[in-house]
């Protein structure tokens, strides 16, 4: 047994966009150990949500994919029937926008207990009881009453707690959290995040946490991977990534946050706009926005190479090591 619980091997996904198949994920590989939380950070369009969809087999119609997703040693793409249902029970998804992701015309109770009752033959009363106890765990005290209500009667924060409680109902081993707090207002974000983090640790679940917020990923995840234009550009332990970025793009993300812990309060942004994989230039995908670009970066695409206990996709990584934090702050 390897220590990988979820493993992605060279996953490439192409989607039909305006009539053509276009690459949105390119050669994505990483692994998550049991009980480990991995953050996947990137700007919108970088492919981080598509990665989660590839894991959960939720790719849009017409998508073409290659590479392998292994879950507990099984090829996810090959799962069928009972095995697929078991996989669905073990891998739960917490979506970004609970209001869109919960059927508005059905009750909360219906939503929460549907999987238990259709796939696990749990009786209505048992399923409801379990739902109420999980609602209590996510901080919703009057669960019984909530089960009768419809989604529009709950606030966004409450709905996301419902979504989290629902995800936990089938006792999954892996949680795919796709920007679970982005759609919420700032005051509820930290509450929901704290609940998610606590419940995950208690249960020893693995988590793939998708966010555009590098600091948040660092706070709840053991390791963090950074995506740009459909590729992983860097992947290391969260603290190392934050304190000593190896890839110029990561450095830009670190620098993009206001820093008030140092002498200088400076906000540095990355020039240009984010690229999707199919818009990326030849060579290194980041070469048109990178301040450290050299001829090599345009000539050939760098590979994801191991460095300093993680890995990074940059021709100049070794050369620039230790200098990026400073460079970003001045760029």
Partner 1 sequence: MLKFVVRRLMMLVVTLFVASFAIYSAMYLAPGNPIAALLGGRTPTPEAIAVLEERYHLNDPFIVRYLRWVGGALRGDFGVSIQLRQEVSTLISQRIGTTVQLVLYASLIIVVVGVALGIVGGLRKGVLDNVVIVATTVSAAVPSFVASIILLSVFAVNLGWFPALGTGEGFVDQLRHLTLPAVALAFSSIALVARITRSAVREELSREHVQTAVSRGIPYRTVVRRHVMRNAAIPITTVVGITVASLFAASAVVERAFSLNGIGAYLIQAALSKDIAVVQGISLVIVAIFVVVNAIVDFLYAVLDPRVSLGASAA
Residue 81: CB atoms within 10 Å: 7
C-alpha 284/C-alpha 113 separation (Å) is: 47
- x/- track of binding to partner 1 for residues 81-100 (CB under 8 A): ---xx-xxx--xx-x-x--x
Burial class of residue 33 in the structure, from the number of CB atoms within 10 Å of its CB (0-12 exposed, 13-18 middle, 19+ buried): middle
Question: Are the beta carbons of 268 and 252 closer than 8 angstroms?
Answer: yes
Question: Are the beta carbons of 256 and 246 closer than 8 angstroms?
Answer: no
Q: Which is nearer to partner 1, 151 or 218 (CB)?
A: 151
Q: Please tell me whether residue 103 binds partner 1 under the rule CB under 8 A.
A: yes
C-alpha 290/C-alpha 296 separation (Å) is: 13
Sign of the Cα pseudo-torsion (51, 54, 57, 60, in order): positive
Shortest Cβ distance from residue 249 to partner 1 (Å)? 29
Q: Which is nearer to partner 1, 16 or 322 (CB)?
A: 16
- x/- track of binding to partner 1 for residues 290-329 (CB under 8 A): ----------------------------------------
Q: Which of residues 38-77 bind partner 1 (CB under 8 A)?
A: 56, 58
Q: Please tell me whether residue 152 binds partner 1 under the rule CB under 8 A.
A: yes
- Closest Cα to residue 253, out of 200, 329, 321, 178? 329
Shortest Cβ distance from residue 114 to partner 1 (Å)? 6
Q: Please tell me whether residue 148 binds partner 1 under the rule CB under 8 A.
A: no
Shortest Cβ distance from residue 113 to partner 1 (Å)? 11
Shortest Cβ distance from residue 75 to partner 1 (Å)? 17
Q: Which range touches partner 1 (CB under 8 A), out of 124-132, 150-158, 244-252, 312-320? A: 150-158
Q: Which of residues 214-243 bind partner 1 (CB under 8 A)?
A: none
Phi and psi torsions of 28, nearest 5°: -90, 125
Shortest Cβ distance from residue 183 to partner 1 (Å)? 11
End-to-end Cα, the chain, rounded Å: 46
Give the count of residues interacting with partner 1 (CB under 8 A): 26
Q: Which is nearer to partner 1, 92 or 241 (CB)?
A: 92
Tokens representing 300 are 């050939």
What HEC string does 82-137 produce? HHHHHHHHHEEEECCCHHHHCCCCCCHHHHHHHHHHHHCCCCHHHHHHHHHHHHHH
Contacting positions for partner 1 (CB under 8 A): 56, 58, 84-85, 87-89, 92-93, 95, 97, 100-106, 114-115, 118-119, 150, 152-153, 170
């Amino acid at each position: 047994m390897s220590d990988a619980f979820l493993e992605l091997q060279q996953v490439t996904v192409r989607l039909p966009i305006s009539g053509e198949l276009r690459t949105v994920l390119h050669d994505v590989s990483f692994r998550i150990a049991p009980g480990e939380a991995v953050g996947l950070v990137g700007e919108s369009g970088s492919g981080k949500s598509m990665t989660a969809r590839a894991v959960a087999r939720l790719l849009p119609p017409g998508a073409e994919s290659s590479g392998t997703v292994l879950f507990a040693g099984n090829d996810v793409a090959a799962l069928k029937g009972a095995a697929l249902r078991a996989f669905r029970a073990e891998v739960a998804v917490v979506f970004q926008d609970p209001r869109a992701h919960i059927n508005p015309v059905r009750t909360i109770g219906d939503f929460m207990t549907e999987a238990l009752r259709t796939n696990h033959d749990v009786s209505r009363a048992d399923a409801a009881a379990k739902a109420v106890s999980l609602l209590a765990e996510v901080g919703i005290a009057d669960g019984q009453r909530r089960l009768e209500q419809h989604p529009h009667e709950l606030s966004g924060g409450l709905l996301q707690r419902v979504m989290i409680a629902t995800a936990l109902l089938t006792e999954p081993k892996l949680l795919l959290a796709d920007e679970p707090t982005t759609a919420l207002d700032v005051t509820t974000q930290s509450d929901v995040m704290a609940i998610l983090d606590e419940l995950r640790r208690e249960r020893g679940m693995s988590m793939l946490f998708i966010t555009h917020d590098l600091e948040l990923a660092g706070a709840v995840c053991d390791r963090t991977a950074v995506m740009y234009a459909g590729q992983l550009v860097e992947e290391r332990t969260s603290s190392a990534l934050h304190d000593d970025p190896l890839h110029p793009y990561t450095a830009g993300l670190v620098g993009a946050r206001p820093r008030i812990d140092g002498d200088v309060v400076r906000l540095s942004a990355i020039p240009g706009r984010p690229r999707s994989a199919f818009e990326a230039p030849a060579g290194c995908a980041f070469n048109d926005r990178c301040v450290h670009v050299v001829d090599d970066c345009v000539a050939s695409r760098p590979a994801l190479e191991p460095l300093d206990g993680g890995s990074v996709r940059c021709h100049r990584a070794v050369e620039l090591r230790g200098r990026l934090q400073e460079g970003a702050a001045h760029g």
